[in-house]
Amino acid sequence: MNSHSNDPVYSKQVIEMLTVANEYCLFMEKAEEYSKEDIFAYSWRILPLIYLKSTLLQPVIPQEPDDAERFVTEETWEGIFNTLRNKFYPDDHFWMSHDLTDETTEIEKNSLAEHLADIYQDMKDFIMLYQKNLHSARENAIAGIITHFREHYGPAITKSLNALHLLQTQK
Residue 1 lies in a domain: no
Angle between helices 74-88 and 112-131 (to 10 degrees): 140
Residue 3 lies in a domain: no
DSSP string covering 92-116: SEEEEES-TT-TTPPEEEEEHHHHH
Q: What's residue 95's pLDDT?
A: 86
Tell me the pLDDT band of 104, cut-offs 50, 70 and 90.
low
Tell me the pLDDT band of 169, cut-offs 50, 70 and 90.
confident
CA distance 50 to 55: 9
71-101: pLDDT as tens digits: 999 999 999 999 999 999 999 998 876 665 6
Residue 45 lies in a domain: yes
Arithmetic mean of pLDDT over the chain: 93
Residue 71 lies in a domain: yes
The Cβ of residue 61 has, within 10 Å, a number of other Cβ atoms equal to 9
108-141: pLDDT as tens digits: 889 999 999 999 999 999 999 999 989 999 999 9
**Phi, psi (degrees; rounded to nearest 5) at 97:** -75, 140
86 lies in which domain range? Answer: 8-169
CATH code: domain of residue 49: 1.20.120.1550
Q: How many domains does the chain have?
A: 1
